[in-house]
Structure 1
């Protein structure tokens, strides 16, 4: 068993540098081929060592594990399970199940007695990658925890691993402890067994780990579920940058089938997708806004990239904007709940993931991304009128986001450094030169996370490097969907063709 108190061994920071598998805002992510058994075992060990140091893990304690449907997930689960056993813990295997179902169970499912948990998932990233999310007994690992984990020294016994760094004798996973029934029951209790009565709902299943949970949940709430699009080869569905094929699929399927809505999730089923009766996908931040309104939130926390329709609609008395990533949203939710213990506090991200920071009637807090709550809260509207009408009543603000995959991180860094160089007046002049033809006169800059530019006609362009993948994201906002899409496409094309080369040259000349 690992001696968790020793100061020998290699640090996680050193392992990150040598493996190319870093910690990001959602845990560990990297190429599955780089996430060897040895590395995953070390990361899980470091997590438990850190919890032991802060008094949240002891020998004999239970640790919950679950995973998604990627082909590399079972191997990584076995490596993590072996680390749990080696650290003196007892593995509670919750199967291949949604991240929020694991979190709800591990956090005590209303009983308040939590345990650490580990979710093996790459979420929405390509099939050749994977990741690991770590949870403390009562919530996600936050940015304040990251330094404590990264600084851990881990002893690695080379005799336990082969030449390819695979475990020679991985611990077999125990029988599955079911967690999905209690997760579904949470929402049936709150909304009622007839909450979706009379509705017909298409369920786009692809390879979402919660694809069957969605069917069971909407049926338990009284709807008729019509599953479609089930796949065996992993599909990287990103709820924030919806693939063109998923846009076309939903529209064509809705045209051929009479439904009131279509629902889906990303790979680990913590981010929702909701489409109206025509098969038009709602943006994640619109889903979040509608859910916040449904729970009558007093305080809504959301990243800077979310649609500004939240403020314009008056959906909540108080809005707090943060950096992108659930740890930042959770930290701000905790602060808001501490400041006013009677307030209904929630948060959401532009990807649609919804976080409940305080109790709402009989609905206990679940301070991690959840897909099922916003799906139910939004689709319930269809009992009264079409979802398209509900969305059309909101102020006309539309967002769009896209990404450039396989974009070198050093180029992302060069771009942000170039744009943010100098005083504000100098930056605004540079923006006018670079983007004036595309977006008009610049009026403001926000560097909360990445580089966000506001223009006189209300347009917004926001560039941000991904925190855990070699890609550049671009967020845009305008008064029409067409303009937001066009703005995004033109801005990305211009940045790739002209701005990045200038930024790289600028960086080279200013070293």
Structure 2
């Protein structure tokens, strides 16, 4: 039980720790929690493309059925947002997804999604952790039933309806798009949706490979070289590139002029586009660009800043009926959709935006109006059991200046965010999924970013 802990987005671990007996304990804990809460409806179970994921999903299914719950088991690996949508669309008691998202193939994980389709908040995951126990079984006549379900069609219909309500059209006819599934669960889902909308599609890594080609299904620029070349190459045959991470809840965008489009710039472009026809606040994580705030101010709107973790974004969106919510890691959702990040929906919305006006042109206009913004991050190794101590000690080491600039404020919503007099900032926070401390910085140019990240490393490393 001590090995099982729910971090930023569920429990993830290497396969020497993420074992069938422990997965069954999680299944029992969820069954007990749902029963204690009086939630008696069916439960969805989904899984990603990893070698072990289907087997773990079947283990969860057996435990839930033995506790009296009917289970809707995904017929194949599907993106996490499809399970979240199905929970709301079908009025389910909740759902479980076996996925380690962007982690390497030697990892797996499990996340619980409550009945509202949004990420589980700590009061829920704590309640589940308190109920971890060996599986139990009701008498056989009281067992639930399991059946396989295709969750893709209803999600696709909802995504296209929402995009059409925002853009006025989902006709992508004639738009050449390249899509990279990174061998993950977006294959056959995101590409199928783009094609259904009419896009002329080139596919990259849309075959299932449980080892993800020997790497991690993380849609960072260094892992998308072929996609970037397809979009930025001399032949100009592809107008837009889109990639998803392993469970397709995040999106990466590639444009002809910029190549890999920084997620912060895409978020700003998305919010600016939505504000042309809608009104409403934005919710962003503490590690996400202040450019969102500048866009909001220009439109007379506001921004809510929350800790890292999409659960906090989702909670704040519900509290304030926000128009859009997102994180610098590429996770976004919009009003009118399930409050879970959705890289499938955003793929179609990004393509529709680009068909109306090239994303590079919109970003250029935003930067001309609001100023250049550059962001980067590094990691400093730190064992999980040392993170609390390091942050406690860091509180007493906050300097008056960073890289020659005065510290004007300190935000402690998630770690320590030092807001500097020149409008730049430095953030130090613990990762919720890896044994590292993250150091983020934002400034007006690359040289300044390098100075800030170096200062952040120098501040943290002596304490580890």
Q: Which whole-Å CA distance do the structure 2 matches of 1:68 and 1:245 have between them?
A: 19
Aligned to 2:289: 307
Equivalent of 2:398 in 427, 440, 453: 427
Equivalent of 2:454 in 479, 490, 510: 490
Equivalent of 1:335 in 319, 326, 338: 319
Aligned to 2:461: 500
1:9-44 CA-partner distances (Å, limit 9, x unpaired): xxxxxx0x2x2x311121111112211111111112
> Is structure 2 residue 47 aligned with structure 1 residue 86?
no
Q: Which whole-Å CA distance do the structure 2 matches of 1:182 and 1:236 have between them?
A: 29
3-state SS, counterpart of residue 398 of structure 2: helix
Aligned to 2:443: 478
> Is structure 2 residue 248 aligned with structure 1 residue 276?
no
Cα offset, 1:351, TM superposition: 1.8
The equivalences for 1:112-191 within 5 A come to: 113-139=91-117, 140-152=119-131, 154-156=133-135, 176-191=148-163
Cα offset, 1:355, TM superposition: 2.7
1:268-289 CA-partner distances (Å, limit 9, x unpaired): 0011111112462222233333
Q: Which whole-Å CA distance do the structure 2 matches of 1:98 and 1:348 have between them?
A: 18
Distance 1:419 1:373, change over 3 A: same
Cα offset, 1:376, TM superposition: 2.5
Distance 1:484 1:272, change over 3 A: farther
Equivalent of 2:332 in 347, 354, 365: 354
TM-score of the aligned structures, taking structure 1 as reference length: 0.79
Aligned to 1:509: none
Contact 1:277 1:387 in 2 (8 A): no
RMSD: 2.6
Equivalent of 1:254 in 211, 224, 231: 231
Q: Which whole-Å CA distance do the structure 2 matches of 1:106 and 1:56 have between them?
A: 13
Q: Which whole-Å CA distance do the structure 1 matches of 2:399 and 2:378 have between them?
A: 24
Equivalent of 1:72 in 38, 45, 52: 52
Aligned to 1:104: 85
Q: Which whole-Å CA distance do the structure 1 matches of 2:52 and 2:173 have between them?
A: 39
Aligned to 2:36: 53
Distance 1:30 1:153, change over 3 A: closer
Q: Which whole-Å CA distance do the structure 2 matches of 1:274 and 1:245 have between them?
A: 13
3-state SS, counterpart of residue 123 of structure 1: coil
Q: Which whole-Å CA distance do the structure 2 matches of 1:310 and 1:150 have between them?
A: 36
Contact 1:298 1:316 in 2 (8 A): no
Distance 1:245 1:485, change over 3 A: farther
Contact 2:380 2:439 in 1 (8 A): no
The equivalences for 1:380-399 within 5 A come to: 380-394=352-366, 395-399=370-374
Distance 1:68 1:297, change over 3 A: farther
Q: Which whole-Å CA distance do the structure 2 matches of 1:283 and 1:124 have between them?
A: 18
Contact 1:211 1:264 in 2 (8 A): no
Aligned to 1:291: 270
Aligned to 1:32: 15
Which deviates more from structure 2 when the two are superposed, residues 97-106 or residues 382-391?
A: 382-391
> Is structure 2 residue 383 aligned with structure 1 residue 408?
yes
How many residue pairs get aligned? The number is 438
Task: Specify every segment of 5 or more residues in structure 2 that has no aligned partner in the other structure, as ranges.
Answer: 137-142
Distance 1:491 1:198, change over 3 A: farther
Equivalent of 1:215 in 191, 196, 217: 191
Q: Which whole-Å CA distance do the structure 2 matches of 1:464 and 1:399 have between them?
A: 19
Task: Specify every segment of 5 or more residues in structure 1 that has no aligned partner in the other structure, as ranges.
Answer: 1-14, 158-170, 338-343, 360-364, 505-511
Aligned to 1:436: 403
Cα offset, 1:399, TM superposition: 4.2
